Structure 1
Amino acid sequence: MWSRPPFGEKLRAELGTPRRGRRLGSSPRSRVWRAEVSGTPVVVKQLVEGPEADERYGREVAALKLAARVDPPVVPALLGTDPDERVLVLEHLDDRRPGEDWVVGYACALARLHAATGADDAGALPAWSGPGHDDVGSFLGLARTLGVAVSAAVRNELDDLVNRLAGAPGHALLHGDPCPGNDMHTGDGVRFIDFEQAALGNGLMELAYLRIGFPTCWCVTAPPRPLLHAAETAYRTTWRDATGTELQGDLTDACAGWLLRGDALVQRADRGTADHLAELPDRDWTWGTATARQRLVHRLGVVGEITADGGSDLTGLGQLAAAMRHRMLTRWPALRPLPQQRP
């Protein structure tokens, strides 16, 4: 069924009259159409009225303009905007089903996206925001509920972690939600879409997605270890080639930061509404390809493993994470590992 995309006089004057519009699937926060303008296929996206709609629109437009610096492209071209109606007109891309090694190409494109910005771009987007001390309290409360003792040393480690993450170096262009589904695998490489949560910060916070299990995403996967290592190496190499510098920061800190966030167990509409870690002992819930307990068990295992050599400032947290994971698997032995491939 044909549907008319929201093209006002401004866009019609700049681009022409849209034809053959068809609604596409999207999140509840937006409406998306495929259409033709002057015989060229385009995508029209409108952010619907709601909390922070204007801010999300501004972030997306700003991020797309910053990312347009990258060549070959890592985002669709932004063809037109109508701020009054919160409408973007984007280049239409043909998405292909990714291969089993998709994480490697994804990591390369993510590094090139991150490298689009630098210190001179400070203020062009909000700064990335990490976990806070309330998250620490919720996480340690869950540990106690599971029957795992918490030492004062671990509390100090976590307070220091929160402070380090708040001051993590970097002005990378962060996507904000770099999930499977927000990456399009085209014949010319991976391109990212949906920048409503874009920010500036340290790229390790999003490189960590591959290892910690895509914490803001409905489609959560845990790539096989050889592919994970290949993807992380590809990211670092691509970053070095694009910037001429080595990546700064600590991937262990980034992974531990995602572990603390109870809001990273629920979809965006439910974030900030409850202490989700406190709910976990009494109920489990499914979001996308995994349950909340599956997600947390995976993250606990990652942090326990990545700190196991004792060379981290988070040795106590690693031991606590391992003990919490053991208690969870003992209490709920039917919990399965995360899927290795996207659906």
Structure 2
Amino acid sequence: MVLKGAGESGDLPFGERLRAELGSPTAVVPLDSSPRSRVWRVELAGTPAVVKQLVADPEAADRYTREVTALQLASRATPPVAPSLLATDPEHHVLVLEHLEHHHPAEDWLIDHATTLARLHATIDPDAPLPTWSAPTPTDADAFLRLAHHLDVPTTPGVQDELNALLERLRTMPTTALLHGDPCPGNDMHTTAGVRFIDFEQASLGNGLVELAYLRIGFPTCWCATAPPPHLLHAAETAYRTTWLTTTGTTLPSTTDACAGWLLRGDALVPGAQRGTVDHLAEATTRDWHWGTATARQRLIHRLGVVSELTADDGALAQFGLLTSAMRARALARWPGLGPLPTRRP
């Protein structure tokens, strides 16, 4: 969160309920935030804190519930994996949070990010009032096959069967993790005491593999698409798996299916506000657009490459892997000059 400049309390949503519990806020400073929330830095009895309000829209109540529930679950981790939740005002969708001082991440930031992500995932309560993660659908798969057609890449009969089986495996993945929903660079605060995740508005219950896959597939829901160097990626994935094993006593399979699932999602080429509007895979065949650190076509080519590599020795997705490899080659030929995703976070 970046300071925008000093200000007065003004429309700070800090009513009598919060004042009775925490006292009156001082030194109020607005912070940058997404269009769906308003955030301030304040001081409470001389201690910095953060006030966050989910703005009034049809989904505000749901996003508020998700964030409060996820923060409560995450608070069980030691050392912490998220800021402390100091108080809430459900009527106005307001949270008061511990203030975290962010420092510039180290070169090997991804290792601490992955380690904390595993510990966050392990705080799940299966009975928590959170929605279940939504897997890609047959509509996503159909859009991907249309993309292959747009690129003049033929599909073999076995591809449809492999995709149907993939969708079923993703739909029935064991629900073993508290998912952040958007575990991206920028939603991880690198403090002197370790990494803490913020902004849990999209939290859900699901399988940690779908967010471990972010590291390899390029942070699909994030403006800051990044492809870490192979040595750092390997170290971070190992750190996640080791931490998960230590914390839960269980091992994890490959992220191949999870990465393939992210490839199918055309909505993972655009910001949240634009999702669910059009077929973005088809749109990418007629135009390219920038979102954060990369263009839609850069993201797509990266994901095609990741999945083609992961499926090279995967019998369950052998035909799909050949298809993704051919699609990547055709896309690079049709759209020359596209560079790779950046290797460093902004």
Structures share fold, TM-score greater than 0.5:
yes
TM-score interval, normalised by the smaller of the two chains? over 0.9
**Among 146, 150, 170, the residue aligned to 1:145:** 150
Which residue in 2 is equivalent to 1:178? 183
Runs of 4+ in 1 over 3 A off after TM superposition: none
**Among 42, 45, 68, the residue aligned to 1:38:** 45
**Among 315, 318, 339, the residue aligned to 1:315:** 318
Q: Tell me if structure 2 keeps the 8 A contact 1:64–1:195.
A: yes
CA distance in 2, matches of 1:49, 1:293: 34
Q: Tell me if structure 1 keeps the 8 A contact 2:69–2:128.
A: no
TM-fit CA distance, 1:261: 0.1
RMSD value over aligned CA atoms?
0.9
For 2:339, the aligned partner's letter is R
**Among 195, 198, 202, the residue aligned to 1:190:** 195
CA distance in 2, matches of 1:53, 1:159: 34
Which residue in 1 is equivalent to 2:334? 331
Matched residue SS, 1:79: strand
For 1:324, the aligned partner's letter is M
Which residue in 2 is equivalent to 1:7? 14
Which residue in 2 is equivalent to 1:232? 237
TM-fit CA distance, 1:122: 3.1
Matched residue SS, 2:181: coil
Which residue in 2 is equivalent to 1:134? 139
Which residue in 1 is equivalent to 2:277? 273
Identity %: 65
Matched residue SS, 2:286: coil
TM-fit CA distance, 1:150: 1.1
Q: Tell me if structure 1 keeps the 8 A contact 2:218–2:227.
A: yes
TM-fit CA distance, 1:100: 1.1
CA distance in 1, matches of 2:175, 2:191: 29
When residues 123 and 151 of structure 1 are mapped into structure 2, their CA distance, relative to the original with a 3 A threshold, is: farther
Which residue in 1 is equivalent to 2:3? none
**Among 93, 103, 107, the residue aligned to 1:86:** 93
The CA deviation string for residues 166-224 of structure 1, in whole angstroms up to 9 with x for no partner, is 10013201000001000000001100000000001110000000000000000010000
TM-fit CA distance, 1:123: 4.4
- 2:244 corresponds to 1:221: no
**Among 296, 315, 324, the residue aligned to 1:292:** 296
TM-score (norm 1): 0.97
- 2:76 corresponds to 1:65: no
TM-fit CA distance, 1:312: 3.5
For 2:64, the aligned partner's letter is Y
